[in-house]
Structure 1
Amino acid sequence: MRSDSAVGRSEYTLSPEPVAIVGIAALYPGVQGPEEYWQLVSEERPDTAASAAAHGRGPGLGISPGLDDMEVDVARFGIPPAQAGSMARMQILMLEAARQCLADAGHPGRPLPVERTDVITGTCFGLDRQHANALRVEASRYAREVERAALSAGADRESAGQAAEELRTLLARRLGGSPHDRVGEMASTIPARIATAFKFHGRTLAMEAADATSYAAVAQAVQHLRGGLSDAALVVAGQRRESPLFATALDAKGLISTVSRPFAADGGGFVLGEGVGALLLKRLSTAVRDGDRIYATILDCSLRHDPRPGPFSSSLSVGLRRSTAADSLRAAAVRPEAIQYVECVGSGVGQEVRAELEALAALHEGAAAGSVAVGSVKDRLGHTFANAGVAAISKVALALHHRRIPPQWEARSPSEFERSGTPLRLPGASGPWPPGDEGRPRRATVHGASLTGTLCHLVLEEHPAPEEHPAGQGHPVREGHDGADRLGRAPAAESVPLTRLPGDGPVARYAVQDSGSASVSPSDGEPIAVVALAGWFADSPDAESFWHAVRSGVSRIGPVPETVLDRDLYYAPGALSLTHSYTDQGGHTTLPAAPPPGLRITSSRYASMDGAQRLALGVAAQLLASDAPHGASAVSGRGLVAVGSNLGLTRERRANAESSLQDLEETVAQLAALNGLSPLQKKSLLTSVREHMGPPDEAVLPDLLDGCLAGGIAALLANEYGLDAVPLAVEAACASSLAALDMAVGALRSRTADFAIAGGVELACNARDMVLCSALGLLSHSRNAPFDAGADGFTPGDGCGLFLLRRYGDALRDGDEILGLIRGVGASNDAKSLIAPDVGGQTRAMERAFAQVDFAPSAVDYLEAHGTGTKVGDRVEIAAVARVYGRAPRARPLEIGSAKSFYGHTFAAAGSAGLLRTLLAMRERTLPPNTNLRTINPALDLAAVPARVSTEPSPWVTGPGQPRRAAVSSFGTGGINYHVLVEEHRGGSR
């Protein structure tokens, strides 16, 4: 960790190319578009629904008005009517925000580079369709209990049955139901729908990091742009109160207040707001070339984490807040005295407010009294949580564009932090934003923080209007624009000295002598070493038992326990239904009963965690075991923990369903079939139902929120293991694990991280998911059989896989055991169908992976395929493989396999299962077999590669002096495609 010493002038290094904000969308209560948003944040007394609620005139305790009244025509996005009713409301709002943002940037009149445009979205705490689907499935159990209780209360069997059926019909009418419900509820469907609507073929992923979500999304977009992985990035972040549980859980932590006072030192919290916003980003040089209007430029976007064990809470470290800001300014080559405005977190929580303002005062110590204006958009919107970063960045970008300092409402009354002589001030009125000293550009910073402990900091700079550039002198991207307070750029070749070491192949050139902080483009393709791995899938609780099962060729799929799938309620073999699963097979796992040894987690807190959180903690304990072959240096420095998962966790869905079921009691009492019961009998009936259903989830406990956050999985790993690592959740449907790996590789190559933990986790064996997937006909009626002529779908599986990654040179230097090298990661979106796979999209991902390496597809020996186990999916995948891997003669056929034949489809964890199997096969020098394979599907053109699918393990042999090479594919709903290239390390011990 860096010290908190004063920021010295000689310590600055030159920042990478700025990123331009060329489009803004703003959807908030009473606000549509950047013009109305600027009016909201710039007027002293704006009269909007959002601002009224922020000051105590809203609909309820700590709640601002919402976005329910905003109308959006989904037909304009080409969405079939059959799917529209299954869409989460957030999907619709984000589609509209994307459209408005692109229109604000001049599109479609000014086309975007669709092949290289990424879509990154951020949401938090589940979506309404997830809750409705969970309630619909849970309602079957509730109706059964009503029938049983009615019989016990004195109703005859016919009346009791009619009451249950009446209740089911009523709930089906209220909650709706469609085969498309599973797709319509997913967070990762949002960026996929945007990509499909606007034909973007870049990366598409959804992220969650609590209230740092949109800051993390912007940081990811900036990294992609600077690394040359994309040419444009659309970031869309939104927050709705999808259920009362969200506000209740926040209130249990003491974070909800009736009035929004961002800088109140004695404040009790924030008003919870709603909003959806979007930013369109490009590299500055690209935006200038394209003639875009540029609102402002991002000079730096940094994230830092304060890892503290125990219940989640925001960082109170003044020193860490100050050093995070100082490091960000240093990376941007901007001195603190050049900052004129700071957009603060302004949480309204007393301790957090004091920590933030003390850190700012220390950072700007020596500046003239009142020379730094501060503000927080929470005084207008309340806290829009996952959207908070985009709301803040948009405000500052618009202020720089209009060259006006926005006012803060709290300035109308005395503020405790405005002590005599402080450089900070609250502007009471909107006023001109003067240029910096000696005509330097106007500059501002944006601070963010999350309740999981993450800190965020951005440095923004104005962009001069076109008329300010003398004709014929070009655009001042870095010419005469930086002023005397920015230092010159060092030649890129001098930033990271490299030397060739004895070794095998061109990877040797990446042995780094000095891994300092200089920027290296991710597109440079520096190998990333896997120095540890761990996994827990089905009944294989560690990597060794996982490999033993694979080596033996015995599938781990079987009937799921009755506690997972109540067969009387949910199992109906042979029929498609909105309320039943036609299979009872799965790769089920039994979760750890207690936290890993050495962690100070109370039994009550552990019980409040989601199952995915508990499983990930157990796998992380294996990954970071004290007797692991890697040393302590493997997790030293700054890191990243990126975990692929469903962004709506089971615990949250269940808690919402249980709380909603309590609201049904009045409805049950009024069922026509129960009219023959007396009031006393009805009361007895409801009491019995309540007892059998179990008590409602303890929504008043502070730990509830922690167990409902998908980003809480990664945050638990960082906090409980004391890792200086930013925690992120990522959802890219079934490709989530490889999307997380891609983020980790990018962070390591760009040197924003020194180590990374990446992987995925999901518990797909549950009644809700099995019912929803059966409704769409996705599940196999028997077992997963990838590439088989009888393949009829996938079987769900539970699992988690995690990998510890470092730069190759660092791992070599420290003598780590290197289990394999990640050489390339390619990603794409089909931009066609949400469900049907596409040869072209999969081919793009493969080609992009090979563009990062120095070997041809013919040098790859083994492909760990997605292997979805459907006739269409398998055929499309092999056709894409033939296009890329069949272009040149091969010395031997490409071996193809899939872990799904052993463990089922683990959804978000699927890529980690495939990578785990590949790395273990590489370690054992054995090509892994497939199981459940009887007859190869004759529609698979394996000869075009050529390739083979084996059912027996075989030695993995290579040519003289050649490392073993493999590829791993994951393809997800929404047309999301990832392809990873893995290479054996031949210089280390085994």
Structure 2
Amino acid sequence: MHSEFDARGAAGTARAPQDGTPQDEPVAIVGIAALYPGIRGADGYWRALTEPPPAPGDGPAPSLAGIEVDVARFGIPPAQAGALTRMQLLMLEAARECLEDAKAADRMLQTERTDVVAGVCSGLDRQYANALRVEGSRYARELERAVSAPEFGGSARTAAQAADELRTALVRRLGASPHDRVGEMASTIPARIASAFKLRGRTLALESADATSFLAIAHALDSLRSGQSEAVLVVTGQREEGPYLRAALAAKGLVAQRTRPFAADGDGFALGEGVGALLLKRLSSAVRDGDRVYATVRGCAVRHQGRPGVFRYSTSVERRAETARAALRECGASPGTIGYVECGTSGVPRETAAELAALAAVFADAEPGSVVVGSVRDRLGHTFANAGLAGVTKAALALYHQRLPAQLPQEPGAAQDLAETPFRTLTEPQRWAPAPDGEPRRAAVGGASLTGTLCHLVLEEHETAAAVPAPARPRTARASVAPEPVAIVGFGGRFGNAPDADAFWAAMLAGQDRIGPLPQSLLDRELYHRPGKLSLTHSYTDLGSPVEVPSAPPEGLRIPPHRYAVMDAAQRVALCVADELLARGGRGVARPNGPGLVAMGTNLSLSRERRTAAGLALGEVEAAVGELAALGHLDATGVATLLDLVRERYAADPAPGGPEDLDGSLAGGVAAVIANEYGLDAVPLGVEAACASSLAALDVAVGRLRSGSVDYALAGGVELPCNARDMVLCSALGLLSRDRITPFDTAADGFTPGDGCALFLLKRYADARRDGDTVHGLLCGIGASNDAKSLIAPDVDGQVRAMRQAFGQAGFDPADVGYLEAHGTGTRVGDRVEIAAAARVYASPHRRRPLEIGSAKSFFGHTFAAAGGAGLLRALYALRTGVLPANAGLATVNPELDLDRIPARVSSGSAPWESAPGRPRRAAVSSFGTGGINYHVLIEEHLDGSR
């Protein structure tokens, strides 16, 4: 099978998508939403960019606080409403306005093939509030100890009363709900949008610092052009959720009072707020459906300059110019056809000068002043995660209205000198004259990230009169031709008490789980453990499977101690696993070269950021202390003295104080630190799809590989949920087992948390063969869907759709799969639904032997964002070794599962995996996440000569 792929050796060669769609087909922007301070809708956005700004003091408030959202219209249960982030509400509203703008309900939007991609950066308000509430218990203990001291005149009873009052006050002030763990997650945003509008395609959240929206658009282009999706709703946003992000950016020296995009003496940018959305479809689909097309996206290039050290913007003129040229090459456009460039200038002089110098090199043959440049940041500031989408929206509207936008005037002499360059800025909007040679109007949009990523898009006007409706294609998600498989050429992992991937597999063969009481450093039992009924403040279990966090960077990496000290634990663990894969794996993995991707499934708000944010919000806790009835015997001076003492004893994490502090808190920084410290030209990306995050990251990586956008990808996931915050929040909803996780057993009553990280190096199969790589396994299909129903309860139909979509790419049948690595959360409902879905797909009278089913969670607990990575690692070892792994803790298989329908079995011991000579073993991996998110991956043993 697939022997034709062996001859395809050219790196970066674009592959034909599975439904015959041209890989470079234009993608149409058919819907726009814009929510910015004082701005609402596409028309309002365009007016704000083309009309004189309001007089100083008369303008809108510089925040999104004034935008009202009707929660009831989205069908959100009242019990869940209080747990929602403000960003979730704003993005729901942006999604509604975007779909309404596109008149999607009137255009037969294919809901089963419509994806939702959300982009955010830094923590959200409920994440900060929940972290502060949990941390508040530690503060309350220090308060109790201080009040009981003689100088504050409090008895032990008074001190205990003050502590209890404070805990109650924090619940009231900060809010608390059993649904907090679900409501706070970034991936709940696209999941909630999918549920509200019954969109059943892929749903995921992304983060790549201020390149976030560019990466979201790039992923949407891959999905559309590959035929995986019929439409993609991209929603990105940024708010000041608290003081943390501004403080961390200021510590990098990037924050200024206002943004002056082309200033020669700029001192940074003003952090802006905004939420925007685009509905994207292939142009042929948009024309067929009679959609209004604002503009089309023709070219997209995203590159990275991997440099060790503190994250910083690239000032490489050569790299920036090559990124722009790559976008132009993709659509076959010459620089001379670009009439407008929307710049991503940060307001930092060196970076702005590099961007303009790179553009000058690209437009070297253009006449002086022939290309208009601008930046929406003069009006909005830098909207960070939303910045690229804000710029794309501006360029698309300029093409649609055929008008060139103006820039706000700058002080005389302050602007970059554009004389003798191809560029000019406009002081007034003007008509965009058509090109004399009949070429369509085109615009470019550039951007950069402080992690070192560079981005460039080429947009083109849509000439309605020239459009010819395309013939309707069958509305099906099933592939007619199996795409090229993706080779797994390297892997690494670290899980509870297993420092590398081989130790992980050894634990499977030993048959003993790695679950036990958490150390006191991770779970302070006095504060957070209370066996018994559900609670908003305590965990009813103290079991988990923690990972050892490295105390020093991998040998050979020159990371200064002060910088390593502020790295989040997830970053340290992921760096260690990357080192296993790239430096000390012993598996013949060569350091990859060329354009790549590092996609890491992760919670998009890391623990270190939340702890630091809690320290910055300590004033909220102290305000509550000042109102406690138990302290009524103290005067104002006594309360102030008490607060000083408690603050000193509490020892909150310090505020950001250096340029490395933000780096250690960015979720996308988990991927960025790998790319940069190993000098990879690989775009870093954080991906969150709840417990399916690892497989979502894998999906993004496979899309980038199959589109030819990258030559390799590192993909996987990391999360460390063995901490007080996650234990308390998960306990509040009754998600945790009261003993330990036992998937598919009659005793199953929930999951046990576990820490972990798994990472895989991927290449196109032909490229791996050309490069002489050891191929450990072949990734043949990956399917994804959303239930668009409950955010908590699993759904058989949604899981079945993901499974069938994967088989649509694989080139083999379910009866050929011998092992299913199940999600296996260990809940009775979850296990039953998962097996029912598997029965719908895998049951076959042609099955030669029962389907073996297992779950890595029985050994290492539920590792959340790393769960799919753990499952893939276990299935990959099973293929490579020919051993079917055991399931730990299995006493009695739940008869309600009715495994005989498939037929299937869940085994308590390891066994040889028999296979016919010359016939590869095949396995499947499932991962399902909160929010109705479903992923299913199919892998195959690599046999020399089999492909």
The TM-score, its normalising length taken from structure 2, stands at 0.95
Instruction: Decide whether aligned partners of structure 1 residues 710 and 91 sit closer, same or farther in structure 2, where only a CA change above 3 A counts.
Output: same
Q: Given that residues 527 and 823 in structure 1 are in contact (C-alpha distance below 8 angstroms), is that contact kept between their aligned partners in structure 2?
A: yes
Residues 116-195 of structure 1 correspond to what in structure 2 (within 5 A)?
116-152=113-149, 153-195=152-194
1:600 Cα deviation (Å)? 1.1
Report the counterpart of residue 14 of structure 2 in structure 1. none
Residue 412 to residue 475, structure 1, CA distance change in 2 (3 Å):
farther
1:853 lines up with 2:850 in the alignment: no
**What amino acid sits opposite 1:690 in the alignment?**
R
Within the alignment, does 1:474 sit opposite 2:468 as a pair? yes
Q: Distance in 2 between matches of 1:361 and 1:870?
A: 60
Deviates more, 1:892-901 or 1:737-746: 737-746
The Cα offsets for residues 195-225 of structure 1, whole Å up to 9 and x where unpaired, read as 1111111100000000000110000001100
SS at match of 1:307: coil
User: Any idea what SS the aligned residue of 1:47 has?
Assistant: coil
Aligned length: 917
User: Aligned AA for 1:785?
Assistant: T
Distance 1:655 1:375 in 2: 36
Q: Is the 8 A contact 2:482 2:808 kept in 1?
A: no
Kindly provide the amino acid, as one letter, of the partner of residue 278 in structure 1: A
Q: SS of 2:32's equivalent? A: strand
| Equivalent in the alignment of 1:800 | 757
Aligned with residue 19 of structure 1, among 11, 27, 32: 27
Q: Please list, as runs of the form range in 1=range in 2, the aligned pairs for 1:242-253 lying within 5 A after superposition.
A: 242-253=241-252
SS of 2:608 mapped into structure 1: helix
Query: Residues 656 and 269 from structure 1, CA distance in 2 versus in 1: closer, same or farther, beyond 3 angstroms?
Result: same
* CA shift digits 1:804-833 (9 cap, x unpaired): 111111112222111111000011111111
Q: Residues 475-507 of structure 1: CA distance to partner in whole angstroms, max 9, x if unpaired?
A: 599xxxxxxxxxxxxxxxxxxxxxxxxxxxxxx
Query: CA separation of 1:934/1:308 partners in 2, compared to 1, >3 Å: closer, same or farther?
Result: same
Q: Greater CA deviation, 975-984 or 811-820?
A: 811-820
Q: Which digits, 9 at most, give the CA deviation of each residue in 1:389-414, with x for residues without a partner? A: 11100001001000000000136744
Secondary structure at 1:915's aligned position in 2? helix
Q: Quote the Cα distance in structure 2 between the aligned partners of 1:476 and 1:78.
A: 37
Give the Cα separation in 2 of the matches to 1:322 and 1:814. Answer: 28
Does structure 2 conserve the Cα–Cα contact (< 8 Å) formed by 1:117 and 1:234? yes
Q: Which whole-Å CA distance do the structure 2 matches of 1:413 and 1:679 have between them?
A: 53
User: What displacement does 1:732 show?
Assistant: 0.3
CA–CA separation in structure 2 for the residues paired with 1:529 and 1:406: 47
Q: Which runs of 4+ in 1 moved over 6 A?
A: none
Please state if 1:102 is matched with 2:99. yes
The 8 Å contact of residues 489 and 589 in structure 2, kept in 1 or not, is answered as: no
Q: Is the 8 A contact 2:23 2:707 kept in 1?
A: no
Q: CA deviation at 1:628?
A: 3.2
Q: Which amino acid aligns with 1:190?
A: I
- Cα gap change, 1:339 to 1:290, in 2 (>3 Å): same
In the alignment, what sits opposite 1:537? 495
Q: Structure 1, residues 25-59: CA drift from partner, whole Å, max 9, x if none?
A: 0000111100000001112x1229xxx69xxx989
Distance of 1:205 and 1:218 partners within structure 2: 13
The answer on whether the counterparts of 1:411 and 1:426 sit within 8 Å (CA) in structure 2 is no
Shift of 1:738: 0.4
The match for 1:528 is: 486
Equivalent position of 2:560 in the other structure:
602
Q: Secondary structure at the match of 2:115?
A: strand
User: What residue number does 2:900 align with?
Assistant: 943
Shift of 1:881: 0.4
Question: Retained in 2: the 8 A contact 1:648–1:710?
Answer: yes
Query: Within the alignment, does 1:93 sit opposite 2:94 as a pair?
Result: no
Q: Which amino acid aligns with 1:629?
A: R
For the structure 1 residues 522 and 366, does the alpha-carbon distance in structure 2 shift closer, same or farther, using more than 3 Å as the test? Answer: farther
Check whether the contact 1:229–1:523 (CA below 8 A) recurs between aligned residues. no
Range with greater deviation from structure 2 (598-607 or 107-116): 107-116
CA deviation vs aligned residue, 1:867-887 (integer Å, no higher than 9, x gap): 010000000000000000004
- Is 1:809 paired with 2:766? yes
Matches within 5 A, 1:327-338: 327-338=326-337
Asked if the contact 1:39/1:46 (under 8 Å) is kept, the reply is no
The AA in structure 2 aligned to 1:65 is P
Contact persistence 1:763–1:798 (CA under 8 A): yes
Deviation at 1:298, TM superposition (A): 0.3
Is 803-812 or 370-379 further displaced after alignment? 803-812
User: How big is each residue's C-alpha offset from its partner over 1:852-903, in whole Å with a ceiling of 9 and x where there is no partner?
Assistant: 0211100000000000100000000000000000044210000000000000
CA deviation string 1:899-930 (max 9, x = no partner): 00000000000000001111111111100000
Question: For residue 722 of structure 1, what is the aligned residue in structure 2?
Answer: 679
The farther-off stretch of 671-680 and 656-665 is 671-680
For residue 44 of structure 2, the aligned residue among 32, 36, 57 is 36
Alignment of 1:266-665 (within 5 A): 266-410=265-409, 413-414=412-413, 416-465=415-464, 468-469=465-466, 474=468, 524-625=482-583, 628-632=586-590, 635-665=592-622
State the partner residue of 1:487.
none
Residue 671 of structure 1: how far off its partner (Å): 2.7
Q: Hey, what's the Cα distance between the residues in 1 that align with 2:491 and 2:324? A: 34
Provide, for residues 660-696 of structure 1, a one-character-per-residue CA deviation record: whole Å limited to 9, x for no partner. Answer: 1244335424533123235565444323312221144
Q: Which residue, 927, 930, 936 being the options, matches 2:884?
A: 927
> Which of 847, 855, 875 is the matching residue for 2:832?
875
Partner residue, 1:789: 746
SS at match of 1:851: helix
Rounded Cα–Cα distance in structure 2 between residues aligned with 1:438 and 1:533 = 53
Deviation at 1:101, TM superposition (A): 0.2
CA deviation after TM superposition for structure 1 residue 844, in Å: 0.4
Q: What SS class does the counterpart of residue 237 from structure 1 fall into?
A: strand
Cα distance in 2, alignment partners of residues 127 and 627 from structure 1: 37
Unaligned runs of at least 5 residues, structure 1: 3-13, 478-520
8 Å CA contact 2:341–2:446 kept in 1: the answer is yes
Q: Which stretch has the larger CA shift, 621-630 or 941-950?
A: 621-630
Per-residue CA shift, 1:412-452, capped at 9, x if unaligned?
Answer: 74454334321100111100001113221100100011110
Superposition deviation, residue 347 in structure 1? 1.0
**Counterpart for residue 834 of structure 1:** 791
Aligned partner (choices 689, 698, 709) of residue 655 of structure 2:
698
Aligned to 2:4: none
Q: CA deviation at 1:624?
A: 0.1
Moved more, 943-952 or 157-166: 157-166
Q: Deviations over 1:83-115 (max 9, x none)?
A: 111100000000000000000001322220011
Shift of 1:155: 1.0
C-alpha separation in 2, matches of 1:476 and 1:363: 34
Which amino acid is the alignment partner of residue 127 of structure 1? Answer: L
Residues 931-950 of structure 1, C-alpha deviations (whole Å, 9 max, x = no match) = 11111111101000000000
C-alpha distance in structure 2 between counterparts of 1:522 and 1:215, whole Å: 30
Query: Is the CA contact (8 Å cut-off) linking 1:418 and 1:424 kept in structure 2?
Result: no
Displacement of 1:697 in angstroms is: 1.7
In 1, Cα distance between equivalents of 2:766 and 2:588? 14
Q: Partner letter of residue 237 of structure 1?
A: T
2:919 and 2:859 map into 1 onto residues whose CA distance is 30
Provide the C-alpha distance between the structure 2 equivalents of 1:896 and 1:23, rounded to a whole number of angstroms.
44
Structure 2: unaligned runs, 5 residues or longer: 1-9, 11-21, 472-478
Deviations 1:360-379 (Å, cap 9, x if unpaired)? 11111121111000000000
Higher mean displacement: 788-797 or 689-698: 689-698
Q: Is 1:974 aligned to residue 918 of structure 2?
A: no
Report the equivalent of 2:54: 47
Q: Alpha carbons of 1:670 and 1:72: their partners in 2 closer, same or farther (altered >3 Å)?
A: closer
2:688 maps to: 731
State the shift of 1:272 in Å: 0.7
679 and 403 in structure 1: CA distance in 2 versus 1, 3 angstrom threshold: closer
For residues 59 and 38 of structure 2, what CA distance do their matches in structure 1 show?
A: 13
Q: Which residue of 1 aligns with 2:110?
A: 113
